[in-house]
Amino acid sequence: MTALTVPTDMPEPRNLVAGRWVPGGDPTVAVVNPADGQVLTTIPDTSEAGVDEAVRAARAALPAWRSTTPFQRAAVLHRLAAAVRDDLEELARLVTLEMGKPIGESRGETAKLADAFDYYAEEGVRVYGETIPNEQAGVTSIVRYEPVGVVGAITPWNYPLELIGWKLAAALAAGCTIVVKPSEYTPSSAVRLFALLQGAGVPDGVANLVLGAGTAGRALASHPDLDKLAFTGSEATGAAITRSLAKAIPTSMELGGSCPQIVTASADVDDAVAGCLRRGFRNAGQICIAINRVYVHRDVHAEYVDKLTAGVAALKVGPGLDNPDVGPVTNAEIRDRCAAHVEDAVARGARVRTGGTSQADRAGTWVTPTVVDDVPHDSLIVQEETFGPVVGVVPYDTSEEAVALANGTDAGLAAYLYARDLGEVFSIGHALEFGNVAVNNPDAGIMNAPYGGRKGSGHGSEHGREGLHAYLQIKHLRIRYGK
């Protein structure tokens, strides 16, 4: 595929508040192209006052928006989906420039953003209450679902459009208003997306955007006038946000985790290798549900590792606009973490089968796709989320051992199981302590099924009707109508 031309201009880095583009303060945060280390733009770290202005705009817009019918909101969301599809190429290009992923993956992410708006447009008109009988004659109870109110959303850089979409689409469909703070690493695609809102019919103040890093994030998370906070990011940041809440409000937190793949002796090894290549190295491994560690039955361990090593060594690495298999990682923190995890595993006796070489002297932030074999359970690759194109492999002897190893960390978001024996599928699948378990496939999440974690990987659900109900609250209306 011919390399795309890098655009010479970027969206002006401004906040969208009450339908107006406003400056967020002096630009203080540089946004860097991870492919070459060049500064693409600078954004403000919006002050507490700027965040407060956005929350007040959302509060002012709430009464009118929550009073619209689900069908009216659905029409707006469908128009927004169409606008995203019309602008897909530019949105995708901005994602690749700032985040680094291959342009083909950015196009796929943008298409899924549009799908999310369409999905929640339809799901929003299917929110049903119920009528409950009472012991007393002449009295009835109605259970209804109402918008939770003003939502604060803090989103990450690895899927800078799609993960905004999950929150924005569900919140708007539910009748909520929202303030979104995107990652400081990938703000421009969010600015471009919010520029589409007014044309799609989103009323002023219903959806607001504030740019920034730590100052803006802390101000939004701790704002006293939020009714709900939705966050996707690291476990440490999620814990800090929880401690900073101004009052007891509902929260949804997707905090990632070190996701395991189990490959049993009955598995189709080629299938399992293909699954790991996709889910371990897609988006340079920067996925909350990326395969981080692999437990392979000793009978097929050598075959699996040889085939995985060959597949990883053949991956094409290059700038995202050239549409390679793997682009750069988004920032130096990820690059350095990958190197530290490999170094730690080797020091504990593991063996690098491919990759593992440092690229710290190369312009941009690059990590060679890496496979490390015979990784000890106490190594960083196993115990922490690497969040880069590095996979550690561990042989095992019994199903009980594999389950114990897979469950033996604080991660609980997603796990992958490859087995053709039906007994293994159900016994291991049920024993895994994860919110999502994919069997004989590498896709642990789909839009119309709930997606969320356990243990240190967070709480609450996105996707499915559960993702919509996360933005609704229950009311019991008990009516006496007779004597």
For the domain that residue 232 is a member of, what is the CATH number? 3.40.605.10
Q: Say yes or no: 200 and 313 in one domain.
A: no
Q: What is the mean pLDDT of each run of 10 residues along the chain (483 residues)?
A: 49 96 90 97 96 98 98 98 98 98 98 98 97 94 98 98 98 98 98 98 98 96 97 90 91 93 98 98 97 98 98 98 97 96 98 91 95 97 96 98 97 97 98 98 96 94 96 97 83
Q: Say yes or no: 332 and 409 in one domain.
A: yes
Q: Say yes or no: 435 and 464 in one domain.
A: no
The token pair that represents 264 in the structure block: 């049993």
Give SS3 for 146: strand
Contacts of 235 (CB under 8 A, 6+ apart): 255, 256, 257, 385, 410, 456, 457, 458
pLDDT at 2: 36
Q: Say yes or no: 66 and 213 in one domain.
A: yes
Q: Say yes or no: 187 and 133 in one domain.
A: yes
Q: Are 415 and 405 in contact (CB under 8 A)?
A: no
Q: Say yes or no: 113 and 224 in one domain.
A: yes
pLDDT at 393: 98
Q: Which of 288, 338, 424, 462 is catalytic?
A: 288
Residue 481 lies in a domain: no
Q: Say yes or no: 278 and 245 in one domain.
A: no
Q: Say yes or no: 271 and 309 in one domain.
A: yes
**CA 44 to CA 443: how far, in whole Å?**
36
The verdict on whether 288 is a catalytic residue reads: yes
Q: Say yes or no: 306 and 426 in one domain.
A: yes
Contacts of 331 (CB under 8 A, 6+ apart): 32, 34, 157, 185, 365
Q: Which of 254, 384, 424, 462 is catalytic?
A: 254
Q: Say yes or no: 280 and 233 in one domain.
A: no
pLDDT at 322: 97
The token pair that represents 195 in the structure block: 């520029």
Total structural domains within the chain? 2
At 379, the amino acid letter reads S
Residue 21 lies in a domain: yes
Range of the domain at 295: 259-446
At 372, the amino acid letter reads V
Residue 2 lies in a domain: no
Q: Say yes or no: 243 and 282 in one domain.
A: no
N-to-C CA span, the chain:
77
Residue 141 lies in a domain: yes
- Give the domain CATH number at 289: 3.40.309.10
Q: Say yes or no: 112 and 168 in one domain.
A: yes
Residue 452 lies in a domain: no
pTM for this model (two decimals): 0.95
